[in-house]
Chains A and B, each alone.
Chain A
Amino acid sequence: MVISDAVRSAIDAEIAKYPEKRGALLAALHLVQREHGWIAPETAKAIAEIFEIRAIEVMEVVTFYNMFLDRPQGRHQVRVCTNLPCSLRGARELVHTLEQHLGVEAGETTPDGRIHLGHEECLGACAWAPMMRIDDTYYENLDAEQAKKILDSLK
């Protein structure tokens, strides 16, 4: 079974909120990705069946949005904001420190599959820069030591 019963019924609850089924597609992708970590081709096919659209249409949506992953990318998504307000306050230096600490470059996953490090556009935390998002949580007002410790604590 590609999509679990629990996620399937959560998707149905989302569908009920919209005048057209497809309105719940983004919600469904969030739900499925939370369970699977990414949207695999066979998952896209299963979602397409629920929404009565083609799998290619699901993949078009997946690839349009930054938060949806069309390949597995490690257990934790670490994203450092490098837009202007954060860069003015040391975000680029922070990315370099974390690259060295993890031994990967931004855009790569650690060999143990623990962390995918990347940079991201403005996340709405400009006054508390530099900052990073790990999965669904924001970490603000970071310094290099703190940030390294936070990464070390990820399982």
Chain B
Amino acid sequence: MQKAPFITSYLTEHTADDAFATLAGYRAHGGYEAARRALTQMSPEQVVELLKDAGLQGRGGAGFSTGMKWSFMPKDSDKPKYLVCNADESEPGSFKDRLLLERAPHQMLEGILIGAFATGADKTFVYVRGEYAHPANVLQRALDECYAAGIFGANCLGTDLRHDVVVTRGAGAYICGEETGLLESLEGKKGQPRKKPPFPAQFGAFGMPTTVNNVETFSHVPHVVAKGADWFRGFGTEKSPGTTIFGVSGHVKRPGLYELPLGTRLDEIVFEHAGGPPDGRKVKGVIPGGMSMPILPASQLDVPMANEFLRERKTMLGTGGVMVMHDATCMVRVGCIITYFFRDESCGQCTQCREGTGWLHKIMQRIERGAGSPADLDLLLDVASKMEGQTICAFADAAAWPVQGLLRHFREDFEEHVKQGKCPFPESFEL
């Protein structure tokens, strides 16, 4: 992978430097000074307030306020409390957390240490997807350095804070990115999401109060503490402050990572930064935030990449995974790949999800083969709508949304398949 994004900002400024992954290299850029300041000069409440003021929102997909989430951790409980760092990164089109794990592990660990202080957590489990063997090794090395230097353990940074960090490896299951599926997996079980309530802040890992945050979310924290809420709000929009790392893939000249302020326009990312489609082709559609998020047609790329604007176009920022498709692309084939993925990864607990994802894929394939009927288009929408808001976790919604998006903007592609009895896009990617 590339060592640094094509465009960097505070999160990725030093990731091109191999030394930045080591403790000495990280310290050379002021590393762990923000944690020192939090642990020695602030109260936990002040840290939480600072994050609320900064308006940092989770970068794992749901965009919830990090300060708020930290404030939900019970204060007067005598049970052990846990943090979980979600490094499961399995949303198709997302690959930013991998960079942060491989190239800036200490930045994330410093965020975790500050989080431990603010929430009173005893231990953090970093749950790394099983396939990320190399990132997990880099992280473990960084953690070993921290223990040797007294950053974690019985007296973190020489204070009386005790905190331990454990690196846990997953084993290949998308659903373990969902926070309660992750908690089950952490307990050594099948990663099947839990019914909520109770929420993790009351009943989380091993039944104890738990807060789950994404790798990138933790990585922003030291910067907020070091430079303040106003500084942080100098990036992004009023409602969505800070930068994020966009991962651009598919039909562009310069696929890769780009750290840009939230609110950067999608067409700027696709054309100016990533160079647009190669071979003189035009853009047909762009999925703006990982595969669960509905697609946008070429005519709607003038949207700022922040949820308050994306919602108006019936889509969301998700994980910032931008997938670009050029004008030879068959959107029914895109639908086949998407529905196959969700069919394959459903954990099977809820009927609507287990059956619905199977149906969506079957109908999609039928249409792609040219064997679909006109009624199949509405059947897709009917199945999708019955999957929304009905299930234990948001996976079923995430499976329904992209299908709705494809039909909202590319219904013609589906109609042509039915009319012609075959796929009308001979130059599209192979299935």
By a beta-carbon cutoff of 8 Å, the part of chain A in contact with chain B is 17-20, 22-27, 29-30, 51, 60-61, 64-68, 82-85, 87-90, 92-93, 96, 121-129, 133, 136-138, 140
Contact = CB atoms under 8 A, between A and B. Distances in A.
Given A27-B169, A61-B188, A89-B249, 6 more contacts: A23-B186, A65-B170, A84-B291, A88-B250, A124-B129, A127-B255
B168 A27 contact: yes
Given A19-B80, A20-B187, A26-B188, A85 B206 contact: no
Interface stretch (B226-234, B336-344, B416-424): B336-344
B134 A22 contact: no
B174 interface: yes
Contact of B255 (A30, A61, A64, A126): A126
B134 A126 contact: no
B249 A88 contact: yes
B188 to A, nearest CB: 3
A7 to B, nearest CB: 15
Given A23-B186, A65-B171, A65-B172, A125 B95 contact: yes
**Size band of the interface chain B makes with A:** 35 or more
A38 to B, nearest CB: 13
Nearest to A135: B133
B257 A127 contact: yes
A138 B133 CA distance: 9
A98 B89 CA distance: 27
Given A22-B187, A22-B188, A83-B92, A88 B169 contact: no
B92 A121 contact: yes
Contacts of B338: 84
B378 interface: no
A136 B92 contact: no
B200 to A, nearest CB: 15
B182 to A, nearest CB: 12
A92 to B, nearest CB: 4
A97 B187 CA distance: 41
Interface in B123-140: 123, 129-134
A127 B248 contact: yes
A121 B337 CA distance: 10
B93 A126 contact: yes
Contacts of A24: 188
A60 B348 CA distance: 13
B144 to A, nearest CB: 13
B430 A85 contact: no
A76 B247 CA distance: 30
B1 A122 contact: no
A84 B206 contact: no
Most buried by B among A88, A90, A128: A88
Contacts of B251: 88-89
A29 B130 CA distance: 12
Given A30-B130, A122-B92, A64 B190 contact: yes
A40 B91 CA distance: 31
Contact of B249 (A61, A85, A93): A85
Contacts of B345: 121
Contacts of B189: 22, 25, 61
Contacts of B94: 122, 124, 126
Interface string B410-431: 0000000000000000000111
B236 interface: no
B256 interface: yes
A132 B424 CA distance: 30
Interface stretch (B27-35, B57-65, B321-329, B366-374): B321-329
Contact of A85 (B92, B133, B169): B92
